[in-house]
Amino acid sequence: MNREALLEIGSEELPASFIAIGMRQLKVLAEESLKTSGLTFSSIDTYGTPRRLAVAIHGLLPSSPDQKKIVTGPPTAIAKDAQGQWTAAALGFARKQGLKPSELTIENGKVSAIVHIKGVSTRHLLADLFPQWITKLEFPKSMTWEAGRFRYPRPIRWIAAMYGADLVSFSLAGVRSARWTLGLGPWAPKKIPLTQAGKYVLLLKNQCVLVEPAARQEAIRRSAELAVKRTHGKVHMSSSLLDQVANLVEHPVAILGNFDPAYLDLPKEVLITCLEHHQKYFPVEPATSGKLLPHFVGIRNGMSVNQEVVREGYERVLAARLADARFFFNQDRKSPLGSKVEALKGVMFQEKLGNLFEKKERVKRLLEAFASATGLTGILEKAKHVTDLCKADLVTDMVREFPELQGVMARLYAQADGEEAEMAQALEEHYWPITLSGALPSSDLAALVALTDKLDTLAGDFAVGLIPTGSADPYGLRRAAVGIIRILEDRKWQISLDAFIDEAFKLLPETLQAKDNNQPQTLLKEFMKQRLSGILQERGLKADEVDAVLFIQGIGIIHETITKIEALHSIRSDGNFPALSAAFKRAGNILRQAEGQPVTFNSQGSPVREDLLKESAEQSLFQSMREAAASFDREYQDRKYKQALESLIPLRQPLDKFFEEVMVMVEDQDVRANRLSLLNFMIGKFQQIADFSKLQNA
């Protein structure tokens, strides 16, 4: 009979961000190891709260299936003597497998034994697997707390492990597995018996513990909406804060709090930062729009008792935070944003790259090259002014205390100083996109500054060796690279990223201008290619398609490169394309082989001599190729790359016929060279888009 299995790891409170990490890993570990062990199951669910991570496996059979395994022994020459009798080597092999000599067989010149392996009970298998799963969990930070020096984010205090109603027995980190769990923190210190693994979620729900993050999120939404009803407002509930708060509690209870309406004079962004980032409170806003209301919703963990005491505590802590914010804001406003630029000389960007003042001066010089190439010289002076101011808020009291507001405070202070709205907005947006999929700069001005600032950062960090490795990227260089690619695609500027990477390196300090050493540039270009490939693969394009285009031209002009890759992806669905690309690869192989031989042919792809085309198949190919090339040139000139590639399709049949009927490497050197030129002209024409030999089906 199928049963459910349960593993719960109870610990001291985990960091909120670790819960989703643990849940994901538990599911993957369970799926992979159960399949490897031969255990079938119907589904797997994972759960997580600050005090527990759990995995439930549904529909597990009582034991693993019996298996038949073929074991190979010594070669026949060793296993049998001259009379055909089993030797000592064969007899020893049979004993080792628990078989009689008569049960041995000969397979492919070797002695073989068919070994029947009886299935193992699921409970015993889980006793081995459960501790393995816990041991293999990886978190950003771990600690040791017991003699065995087992590593986990927080000390493990209990482990519940069951198969059906039976205990799965093992020990780990000084804790013995059991058939009980604990409830809601200090409010429920007594052990709660677990009678059936399948009743885990309901049992803990009855004990006021919601083990499903989605259930806690829904409870937060409902209770928060109920709490603000009498304010005639609505909860400002960001998804990121909801995710975080849901992983700070096991039983969420909403409490409505208030703050002094005088603080509503502070910018809305400052108030939201104080509430959300620092206190994990949900702001309350009017039902329509406008300023925030002087209320907030805090989420406590536990039963709805002593609400007034909790509310007073929430309000007291928030009042202190808002008072600090008002003080910092007023201090910063005593002088304009522009007066703070000089202080950037005292803020180090990177030891070998200098301070932030020097960085913004490099960005201004890079802006000149970008503006000229993009035809945006009309906004160059504005872009330089934005660059002068874009880091100035980093030395303000507000951003020192609330670093989440960098860029935002630059915009707010610039607006207060009377700067143009577009320029003030660009001060904030030059950091965009803040996340890999975040919003892009909304204007050419903001995009130009964002692009050059990110490119200077990447060039500088690669020049000093601060290159991301593995999953580590402490300087956010992957995000910066993706941001550059997305901005260039969005703006469709006719600039080559490869060329401007070189330009950015030229503007770095002279101490980093190593002669005859282009390795940092090469590494950065490869890094950008990898980021572009990753972006496009997420959109459904294939890695070999990206490689086929980038191999020809590098990254080049981003939006055109992407259009070419999309065109190549689209044309691969044509039924003629696999055979056509295979023919191109064959032609390329012939040309590569010819390069190593004493033969002269027109490697520049110039017109072929028609008088040397002797065979009808090569004459037919030449005619088809001229027509295709003319069509290709028209479409390519108009940047219609899909249509240009479609002009390849009619070449399939004449190419097939050419390779069937024409020998390229003939004795006559003139004919041979002409046929090589024919192939080279054809390949060279269409390699303006992609190298077909890079395609896996080519």
Task: Let me know whether 112 and 173 are in one domain.
Answer: no
pLDDT given at position 36: 87
For the record, the structure tokens of 428 come out as 């904030």
pLDDT given at position 96: 85
Q: Is the pLDDT of residue 415 over 80?
A: yes
Average pLDDT, the chain: 90
Which one of 105-119, 572-586, 659-673 scores highest in mean pLDDT?
659-673
What is the mean pLDDT of the segment spanning 325-338? Answer: 97
DSSP-derived letter for residue 137 is -
What is the mean pLDDT of the segment spanning 588-596? Answer: 77
Last residue of a domain, one of 96, 117, 138: 117
Task: Let me know whether 295 and 370 are in one domain.
Answer: no
For the record, the structure tokens of 551 come out as 């191999």
- CA separation for the pair 341, 418 (Å, rounded): 17
pLDDT given at position 518: 75
Q: Is the pLDDT of residue 68 over 80?
A: no
Task: Let me know whether 12 and 82 are in one domain.
Answer: no
Percent of the chain whose predicted confidence (pLDDT) is above 70: 96
Task: Let me know whether 410 and 428 are in one domain.
Answer: yes
* CB 337, CB 417: distance < 8 Å: yes
Task: Let me know whether 281 and 307 are in one domain.
Answer: yes
Phi, psi (degrees; rounded to nearest 5) at 132: -65, -40
Backbone angle region of 418, left / alpha / beta, with phi > 0 → left and psi within -120 to 50 → alpha: left
Percent of the chain whose predicted confidence (pLDDT) is above 90: 65
* CB 625, CB 682: distance < 8 Å: yes
- Please tell me the least confidently modeled range out of 13-27, 313-327, 600-614: 600-614
Last residue of a domain, one of 549, 567, 585: 567
Per-residue pLDDT of 279-296, as tens digits, reads: 999 999 998 877 899 999
Q: How confident is the model at residue 117 (pLDDT cuts 50, 70, 90)?
A: low
Residue for token pair 């030059």: 430
> Environment class of residue 366 by beta-carbon count within 10 Å: exposed (0-12), middle (13-18) or buried (19+)?
buried
Task: Let me know whether 233 and 198 are in one domain.
Answer: no
Task: Let me know whether 256 and 351 are in one domain.
Answer: no
Q: Is the pLDDT of residue 470 over 80?
A: no
What domain range is 597 assigned to? 575-694
Task: Let me know whether 404 and 481 are in one domain.
Answer: yes
This prediction has a pTM of: 0.80
- CA separation for the pair 325, 315 (Å, rounded): 15
What is the mean pLDDT of the segment spanning 103-110? Answer: 81
Task: Let me know whether 505 and 634 are in one domain.
Answer: no
Task: Let me know whether 434 and 525 are in one domain.
Answer: yes
pLDDT given at position 417: 96
What is the mean pLDDT of the segment spanning 358-365? Answer: 96
What is the mean pLDDT of the segment spanning 184-196? Answer: 86
Q: 563: which residues sit within 8 A by CB, 6+ positions away?
A: 639, 641
Give the Cα-Cα-Cα angle 215, 218, 22 (nearest 5 degrees).
45
Task: Let me know whether 179 and 31 are in one domain.
Answer: yes
Q: Is the pLDDT of residue 560 over 70?
A: yes
Q: Is the pLDDT of residue 606 over 60?
A: no
pLDDT given at position 450: 97
Report how many domains make up the chain.
5
Last residue of a domain, one of 567, 585, 606: 567
Task: Let me know whether 307 and 417 are in one domain.
Answer: no
Q: How confident is the model at residue 511 (pLDDT cuts 50, 70, 90)?
A: confident
Per-residue pLDDT of 134-174, as tens digits, reads: 999 999 999 999 999 999 999 999 999 999 999 999 999 99
